[in-house]
Amino acid sequence: MAKNKTSRQWVHDHINDPYVKQAQAQGFRSRAAFKLMQIDDKDRLLAPGKVVVDLGSTPGGWSQVSSKKVGASGKVVAIDLLPMEPVHGVRFILGDFREDGPLGELVESLEGRRVDLVLSDMAPNLSGIAVTDQARSIHLLELALEFAREHLKSGGDMLVKVFQGSGFDELRREMEQLFTSVAVRKPDSSRDRSAEVYLLCRGRRGEPTA
């Protein structure tokens, strides 16, 4: 009963969410597009000509925002295990970026250009078990960090979603070893009751290993 009540509450909140309505009105795939836009308004991550990799991109809200911002001179490559409807100006790869095949396709799609920005709005399939869900969230963040370590250019940036809880502080300290600054962002479009925050990592130290 409790689960059904929670599901009904989520549906009610989703239908009445002003950002859901705005996303529909403006042609964005999801309300998550506003999270990236609000962070970008403050921190200026996206700009014409930049090369962006969107990890776990489906349904494509962040890819839509990125493509508009980087323009024709930039490049957006998106990858996800789930299919994504085409987004203008975005190269989409269906697959797991941890596997050699999809990763090789991603790197080839960059056409020799270095990655300026790694994005990840990935979230695990929630089980309802807090400890399990937190561990899965941290694991996804570790995967994104490893990708950035290997492919993000010197001075490049990364923006990733994470849920605050066990392992958060340790992983943040690991990120601070790779980046010159790591800050927490909670955009207005992120629901207050959600434990999600975004880690904004700026100025990658050193050179990529790949």
Residue 61 backbone zone (phi > 0: left; psi -120 to 50: alpha; other: beta): alpha
Cα 167 from Cα 127, distance rounded (Å): 18
Tell me phi and psi for residue 57, to 5 degrees: -80, -25
Residue 114's Cβ-count burial label (10 Å; 0-12, 13-18, 19+) is middle
Cα 64 from Cα 46, distance rounded (Å): 12
Q: Say whether 43 counts as a known binding-site residue.
A: no
Q: Say whether 121 counts as a known binding-site residue.
A: yes
Distances in Å between the Cα of 98 and the Cα atoms of 22, 146, 150 are 34, 10, 12
DSSP state of 89: T
Catalytic, 161? Answer yes
Q: Say whether 10 counts as a known binding-site residue.
A: no
| Candidates 35, 50, 75, 161; catalytic one | 161
Catalytic residues: 161
* Residue numbering of the annotated binding site: 60, 62, 80, 96, 121
* Residue numbering of the annotated binding site for S-adenosyl-L-methionine: 60, 62, 80, 96, 121
